[in-house]
Chain A
Amino acid sequence: MDITTFISQIENEIEELTPGSLKPETEFTSLKEWSSMHVLILIALIDTEYNVTITGADLQQCKSVNDLFNVVKSRV
Chain B
Amino acid sequence: MTAFHLHNKTFLVTGASSGIGRQVAISICEMGGNVVITGRNEERLNETLSMLKSGENKSIQAELLDEQEVQRLVSALPLLDGIVNCAGTVSPYPIKFLSDKKIDEVFNINYKVQVVLTAQATRAKKLNKGASVVFLSSISALHPHRGGALYAGSKAAIEAFSKVVALEFFHLQIRSNCIAPAMVKTPMYDKAEAQGTKEQMDAHISKYPLGAGTPEDVANAAIFLLSDASKWITGTTITLDGGFLLGGL
Residues of A bordering B, CB below 8 Å:
13, 36-37, 39-41, 43-45, 47-48, 55-57, 59-60
In B215-242, the 8 Å CB interface with A consists of none
**Cα separation A48 to B147 with both chains bound (whole Å):** 15
Q: Confirm or deny: B146 has a beta carbon within 8 angstroms of a beta carbon on chain A.
A: yes
**Contact flag A59-B197 (CB < 8 Å), given A36-B146, A40-B146:** yes
Closest chain B CB from A47 CB (angstroms): 8
Chain A contacts for B146, CB-based, 8 A: 36-37, 40
In B167-216, the 8 Å CB interface with A consists of 193-198, 200
Chain B contacts for A55, CB-based, 8 A: 194-195
Chain A contacts for B200, CB-based, 8 A: 36, 56
**Cα separation A40 to B96 with both chains bound (whole Å):** 11
Chain B contacts for A41, CB-based, 8 A: 94, 96-97
Residues of B bordering A, CB below 8 Å:
92-94, 96-97, 146-147, 193-198, 200
Q: Which 5 A-B pairs have the closest CB atoms?
A: A44-B97, A56-B196, A40-B147, A55-B194, A56-B197
Q: Name A57's contact: one of B93, B96, B97, B197 (CB within 8 Å).
A: B197
Q: Is the CB of B195 within 8 A of A56?
A: yes
Chain A contacts for B196, CB-based, 8 A: 36, 39-40, 56
Q: Is the CB of A60 within 8 A of B197?
A: yes
Q: Is the CB of A40 within 8 A of B94?
A: yes
Chain B contacts for A60, CB-based, 8 A: 197
27 A-B Cβ contacts within 8 A? A36-B196, A36-B200, A37-B94, A37-B146, A37-B147, A39-B195, A39-B197, A40-B92, A40-B93, A40-B94, A40-B195, A40-B196, A41-B97, A43-B195, A44-B94, A44-B96, A44-B97, A45-B97, A47-B97, A48-B97, A55-B194, A56-B194, A56-B195, A56-B196, A56-B197, A57-B194, A60-B197
**Cα separation A56 to B193 with both chains bound (whole Å):** 8
